[in-house]
Chain A
Amino acid sequence: MIKTTSTRICLFAACLGGSLNAIAQERPIAFTNAELLPISGPPIAPGTIIVVGGTIAAIGPAAATTVPANAETIDCTGRVIMPGLVDTHSHVGGGWGGDASGPIQPDVRILDSINVRDSGFRKARAGGLTTLNIMPGSGHLLSGQTIYAKLRKASTIDDFAIRDAAGKPLGGIKMANGTNSQKDAPFPGTRSKSAALVRQKFLKAQDYRRKVAEANGDAAKLPDRDLEMEGLLDVLDGRIVVHHHCHRADDIMTVLRLRDEFGFKVVLHHVSEAWKVAEQLAKAKAPCSVIVVDSPGGKIEAMDLSLATGAVLEKAGAPVAIHTDDPVTDSRLFLRTAGLAVRAGMSREKALEALTLAGATMLELDARIGSLAVGKDADLIVLSGDPLSVQTKVLETWVEGEKVFDRDDPEDRLFAVGGYGAGRDQKAHGCCTDERLSETK
């Protein structure tokens, strides 16, 4: 469908360098004559995007955008291009966070348990997702640290990591209240107990911080290192964002109460009853990442879940993203969730933003991803038509200037539509791995 003039970006020599992360796209790529949905600005049609070194070097009307002479040109006439989708809440990869030993486990990192070959990642790419916040579950008050993952072709979790300037993988921390995290002791049995346990733990972290400060670098006075406390201090000092599962309106307000008491940054997730407290959420400037599912119910907390939550929050002025919570909704149908939100009254513009820039902002990655703008990572998807139409197919998914999904590739197509073998873990993606395996035969 889409003509390309070069074959594989992954060169043998580049692979010897180790991490696939390090492979930079060298030859400029020009996506020409597409309908562009930059999200951060009005649609451009026909438009051209120039990608150099994995970032967007230029974007503009086709007539006014010069294609470099050495560029690989991809004619996207009749296609729609929008930013790669950002999923603020995913469980793809088979990762497990905290275990049954206790309700608050800030030392646990989901990155230590993710299988990057999980077929779910291939399905996510087929759905147009390029960045995921991969989370541990909601069965704890605090189930562990999350990882912000780029769906690059990967052999290890290191290839997925999005890093800060110091090279540290970025992520948030997962918390939950309501019924999921209530069970037998040492877990809480009530909502009040849940809040009390969290308050106690944050107070302890504040004490730890004070002791570290009082030691003033004196090794003799420093408290022993405590991974749990260090994780919580990342939260209290605003270095990482709390991603908080909550459904009921009162649980939502409890999270905001704790936020205001301890001063952490928080994104509210699922928020089934946010429509009941939309004005308060807007006033509190509380970022809301909404789940859109086919029916209410399934548990008491979701009995008043509404397809109109996004619409109500939008009208109240609260920031809205939409997430998959994969496997609760299938990553391949992420665009569909925005369609259903529009069905229930959300504006098209805000619904598309909810899949991209709004989520990027909630992950504090909006300087790098979430819109088609010069200087941003070249994470984009090529669509066959209107992103909100059931008939539209994701044709290609690109991460940092590399094509990671191509519907014309039979293997990729299998994961896009399903079929025999689509549930299997994917093959290793290192360009030399297949050769290496065949050599052992």
Chain B
Amino acid sequence: MRACSHVLAFVLTALAVAAQAHVPAAEAPPLVAVYGDVVHTMAGPPIEKGVVVIDGGKITLVGSALDIPVPPAARVVRGKIVTPGLIDAHTAVGLTGYLNQDQDQDQLDKGEPIQPELRAIDSYNPRERLIEWVRGFGITTIHTGHAPGALVSGQTMVAKTIGETLDDAVIVPAAMVAVTLGDDARPGDEKKSPGTRSKAVAMIRGEFVKTQDYLRKLGLGDPEKRPDRDLRREVFADVLRGKLPLLVTVNRATDIDAALRIAKEFGIRIVLDSAAEAYLADDRIKAAGVPVIIHPSMRRGGNGETENISFETTAMLRAKGIPVAMQSGFEGYVPKTRVALFEAAIAAANGLTMEQALATITSDAAAILGVADRVGSLRRGMDGDVAVFDGDPFEYTSHCTAVVIDGRVVSEEPR
């Protein structure tokens, strides 16, 4: 019977229509107590027989269920394994939709190679069904935005996988600027730039030099000599000021080194993304203090620049002391998205412990995204985001049995 209800849940999920793909914001999040045989707080050792109490959308208590009485009137959720709400450190869902038709594909504009002024928030559809899909597996926060495929494709954002409107969902409207180096930076038209790796790097350098000039002119005392406002310059200026990091999607070691070279030359923050051959450049990445959001190992197209993907990259980089997070990435066909939980599972089976793998989609991901003060661990004062499982979250046959976001129980269907 239990198996039957699972089947029903999966089928109903498959039938979910756009109207069901979002969760309306309730007036006031109720008092919730989430009990687990084991609670992985990611802020200390796991707690056996633990409980997480959420009030007003924020975590108020975390500890042993023996020490914390059930709060009166609390909605109680129980499960075997309790973790922080999971974080997908890089995706394009919300900009890319599951239909894969023109009307739901806003993850990439190839009109120009360099468009940092494109903002993810202006395309994000919080009702997109893929958001509901990944949420069902415990993903409560996503770093989403413009996909790889242009040299500079736009700004990314961080959002909760909840809400009817952008404002309900977004927690960081402008998180990073998405840059691609390597084959995917080529526009596909031989007459258009960048046509080579060297040209791509030259164009990026040219933009930053131009922006340095822009900033110099802005600093001139005479208002008459100030340049006109320029959205492109303003975004790159925030990069030069250290306000926005570049999210550099690279795979070949050659391109990883080029990204590190640019970062050093202009003194800017970067986060490496995908980084199939990062294990060939781990010493340089470590020395540069650059974090890596590692490719989905199951991504389509294990050839070309990603032919050397390893299931062990996450473990290898972590062993070097490089901050790492996992991601679902971007998929252009079937399946339309990966699931960060499943990608971290590959890492958990290839050199990481369960808690280390969990960190790649919780605490460490939050730190890399700059949102560790709100999400990624179960501590007093953090957002009330919790995922509940009926077994090891990384086992294929386990289910995510409940998802709580900002203190609202948004799903209790086993998935």
Assembled-state Cα–Cα distance A51/B334 (Å):
41
Interface presence of B254 (CB below 8 A):
no
Closest residue of chain A to B341 (Cβ to Cβ) is A294
A337–chain B nearest beta-carbon distance, Å: 9
Q: Is the beta-carbon distance between B335 and A295 smaller than 8 angstroms?
A: yes
- Contact residues in B for A296 (Cβ distance below 8 Å): 14, 98, 129, 133, 335-336
Q: Is the beta-carbon distance between B98 and A345 smaller than 8 angstroms?
A: no
Segment with Cβ contacts to B, from A153-161, A299-307, A395-403: A299-307
Q: Is the beta-carbon distance between A330 and B302 smaller than 8 angstroms?
A: yes
Q: What are the interface flags for B158-180 relative to A under an 8 Å C-beta threshold, 1 for contact and 0 otherwise? A: 00000000000000000000000
Q: Is the beta-carbon distance between B129 and A336 smaller than 8 angstroms?
A: no
Interface presence of A178 (CB below 8 A):
no
Q: Is the beta-carbon distance between B300 and A390 smaller than 8 angstroms?
A: no
Q: What are the interface flags for A397-429 relative to B under an 8 Å C-beta threshold, 1 for contact and 0 otherwise? A: 000000000000000000001111111100000
Beyond A303-B99, A419-B310, whether A339 also contacts B301 by CB under 8 A is no
Q: Is the beta-carbon distance between A295 and B7 smaller than 8 angstroms?
A: no
Q: What are the interface flags for A271-296 relative to B under an 8 Å C-beta threshold, 1 for contact and 0 otherwise? A: 00001000000000000000001111
- Contact residues in A for B279 (Cβ distance below 8 Å): 419-420
Beyond A298-B331, A328-B334, A417-B311, whether A315 also contacts B7 by CB under 8 A is yes
Interface presence of B322 (CB below 8 A):
no
Interface presence of B73 (CB below 8 A):
no
B134–chain A nearest beta-carbon distance, Å: 8
B210–chain A nearest beta-carbon distance, Å: 37
- Contact residues in A for B301 (Cβ distance below 8 Å): 327
Q: Is the beta-carbon distance between B10 and A294 smaller than 8 angstroms?
A: no
Q: Is the beta-carbon distance between A294 and B13 smaller than 8 angstroms?
A: no
- Contact residues in B for A299 (Cβ distance below 8 Å): 99-100, 333-334
Closest residue of chain A to B339 (Cβ to Cβ) is A294
Interface presence of A212 (CB below 8 A):
no
CB interface residues, A 331-359, toward B, < 8 Å: 333, 336, 339-340, 342-345, 347
Interface presence of B248 (CB below 8 A):
no
Q: Is the beta-carbon distance between A297 and B399 smaller than 8 angstroms?
A: no
Please classify the interface of chain A as helix (H, G, I), strand (E, B), loop, or mixed, using the class held by over half of its residues.
loop
B334–chain A nearest beta-carbon distance, Å: 3
> Which of A297, A330, A423 is in CB contact (< 8 Å) with B129?
A297
Q: Is the beta-carbon distance between B302 and A298 smaller than 8 angstroms?
A: no
Interface presence of B398 (CB below 8 A):
yes
Please classify the interface of chain B as helix (H, G, I), strand (E, B), loop, or mixed, using the class held by over half of its residues.
loop
- Contact residues in A for B394 (Cβ distance below 8 Å): 390
Assembled-state Cα–Cα distance A339/B397 (Å):
6
Segment with Cβ contacts to A, from B216-224, B234-242, B342-350: B342-350
Closest residue of chain A to B400 (Cβ to Cβ) is A343
Assembled-state Cα–Cα distance A97/B301 (Å):
19
How many A residues face the partner with a CB closer than 8 A?
Answer: 46
Q: Is the beta-carbon distance between B312 and A419 smaller than 8 angstroms?
A: yes
Beyond A295-B133, A315-B7, A422-B310, whether A343 also contacts B397 by CB under 8 A is yes
Interface presence of A388 (CB below 8 A):
yes
- Contact residues in B for A306 (Cβ distance below 8 Å): 10-11, 13-14
> Which of B4, B99, B337 is in CB contact (< 8 Å) with A294?
B337
Q: Is the beta-carbon distance between B336 and A295 smaller than 8 angstroms?
A: yes
Interface presence of B308 (CB below 8 A):
yes
Interface presence of A312 (CB below 8 A):
yes
Q: Is the beta-carbon distance between B98 and A297 smaller than 8 angstroms?
A: yes
A299–chain B nearest beta-carbon distance, Å: 5
> Which of A304, A305, A345, A424 is in CB contact (< 8 Å) with B6?
A345
> Which of B15, B307, B349 is in CB contact (< 8 Å) with A423?
B307
Beyond A296-B336, A298-B335, A390-B394, whether A303 also contacts B98 by CB under 8 A is yes
Q: Is the beta-carbon distance between A342 and B397 smaller than 8 angstroms?
A: yes
Q: Is the beta-carbon distance between A343 and B99 smaller than 8 angstroms?
A: no
Interface presence of B202 (CB below 8 A):
no
Q: Is the beta-carbon distance between A293 and B277 smaller than 8 angstroms?
A: no
- Contact residues in B for A312 (Cβ distance below 8 Å): 7, 11
Q: Is the beta-carbon distance between B308 and A328 smaller than 8 angstroms?
A: no
Q: Is the beta-carbon distance between B99 and A344 smaller than 8 angstroms?
A: no
Q: Is the beta-carbon distance between B280 and A390 smaller than 8 angstroms?
A: no
B4, B130, B308, most chain A CB atoms within 10 A: B308
CB interface residues, B 292-307, toward A, < 8 Å: 297-298, 300-303, 307
Closest residue of chain A to B398 (Cβ to Cβ) is A343
Q: Is the beta-carbon distance between A344 and B336 smaller than 8 angstroms?
A: no
Interface presence of B40 (CB below 8 A):
no
> Which of B280, B336, B346, B349 is in CB contact (< 8 Å) with A297?
B336
Interface presence of B50 (CB below 8 A):
no
Interface presence of A389 (CB below 8 A):
yes
Interface presence of A311 (CB below 8 A):
yes
- Contact residues in B for A119 (Cβ distance below 8 Å): 307
Interface presence of A240 (CB below 8 A):
no
- 8 residue pairs A–B, Cβ–Cβ below 8 Å: A300-B100, A308-B6, A344-B10, A345-B7, A389-B397, A390-B394, A391-B349, A422-B308
New contact pairs (9) apart from A297-B337, A303-B99, A342-B396, CB-CB < 8 Å: A294-B337, A295-B335, A296-B336, A298-B98, A300-B99, A305-B14, A308-B6, A419-B308, A419-B312
